[in-house]
Amino acid sequence: MRTIAIAFVAALIAVPALADEQKIELKKADGVDKVEANCQACHTLAYIPMNSKFLNAAGWTAEVTKMIKAYGAPIDDGDAKAIADYLAKNYGS
């Protein structure tokens, strides 16, 4: 019974937090499909415009590499290049 009560309270806390998440519309350009398919599998796409002030082409390439090598994102080399290129061209500083 205690486990059910804890789960219920946790659900009550989590549901409003999910309702606040906004839909992120990325710039439509070559590679956006790969970004949407690969990146949002693990995190919100809101990180892209949020970090665009700080990252140039080399920075975006490093971020994509980090997601693959450090965090284990299952992104193949072709998609990784397309993602980094898209981010650099559309969200690079």
Position 38 in a domain:
yes
pTM of the full predicted structure? 0.75
Position 12 in a domain:
no
pLDDT of residue 23: 84
Position 6 in a domain:
no
Position 15 in a domain:
no
Model confidence at 3: pLDDT above 80: no
Domain at 33, CATH number:
1.10.760.10
Q: How far apart are CA 49 and CA 91, in angstroms?
A: 7
* Residues 58-89 pLDDT 10s: 999 999 999 999 999 999 999 999 999 999 99
CB 82 within 8 A of CB 90: no
Q: What is the residue range of 69's domain?
A: 23-91
Position 4 in a domain:
no
The tally of domains found in the chain comes to 1
Tokens of 56: 């140039």
Helices (H), the chain: 2-19, 32-38, 47-51, 57-69, 77-91
Position 81 in a domain:
yes
Tokens of 43: 């995190």
Model confidence at 9: pLDDT above 60: no
* Residues 14-65 pLDDT 10s: 555 555 667 889 999 999 999 999 999 999 999 999 988 999 999 999 999 9
